Amino acid sequence: MKLFVGLGNPGAKYARNRHNIGFMAMDQIASDHGFAPWKSKFQGEVTEGRLGADKVLLLKPGTFMNRSGQSVQAAMQFYKLEPGDVTVFHDELDLAPGKCRVKQGGGHAGHNGLRSIHGHIGDAYGRVRLGIGHPGHKDAVAGYVLHDFPKADDDWLDDLLRGIADGAPHLADGDAGKFMNAVALRVSPPRSSTSPAKAKKADVPKPEPEPATKPDPDTRNPLQKLVDRFR
């Protein structure tokens, strides 16, 4: 079994916060792949289903962001999972809005949810970093991440979440490359190869050749013609 964890804060007032994009990803995967109804367990909300050949548990910790590790650890202990079986989906200030990156292990970069998970299970789990952009100054970060996505972000946010759901079976199977390709096809779809036919150039009639100029009649007498031959 694989455990996918989306980070966020519980409660309706946080539902559209930038900090809750991990929850949004879990909801999209569950909806698009026909997972069971959500239920309360492991200090959060969980649902089970299949992504391709893999059985997957989706978890949205209900402990608030800075205690996310408690919920993750409880689920791991129940199913006897290792950190390598876990992938955490979280907001990422250092990526532009709509960007997505996959990472295995490493630091928490000051993210309170990851910091808590590090403290409970170590740092060997996988992460899906979901770009939300940076407000420009560190003092503005708290207000920025706890603010709702503006309506202007709806298009790229919808594309990103649908791409994540499209690629989720590949991620569960351990193929990060195919997962990223699926996301890219939603976020930056290739342009259609069938572009409008170019207007054909009108056939321009070729100019008719000018009639050959007739040579002037030869008025030389026979003796002059003979002399000119030997000049």
- The DSSP string of 23-45 is HHHHHHHHHHTTPPPPEEETTEE
The residue type of 135 is P
Residue 108 a catalytic site member: no
154 burial (CB, 10 Å; 0-12 / 13-18 / 19+) is exposed
- Given 19, 33, 90, 170, which residue is catalytic? 19
Contact 26, 10 (CB under 8 A): no
As a whole number of Å, the end-to-end CA separation of the chain is 106
Give the phi and the psi of residue 152 in degrees, each rounded to 5.
-65, -20
Tell me how far apart the alpha carbons of residues 89 and 131 are, in angstroms, rounded to a whole number.
11
Tell me how far apart the alpha carbons of residues 57 and 151 are, in angstroms, rounded to a whole number.
31
Tell me how far apart the alpha carbons of residues 69 and 74 are, in angstroms, rounded to a whole number.
8
Catalytic annotation, residues: 19
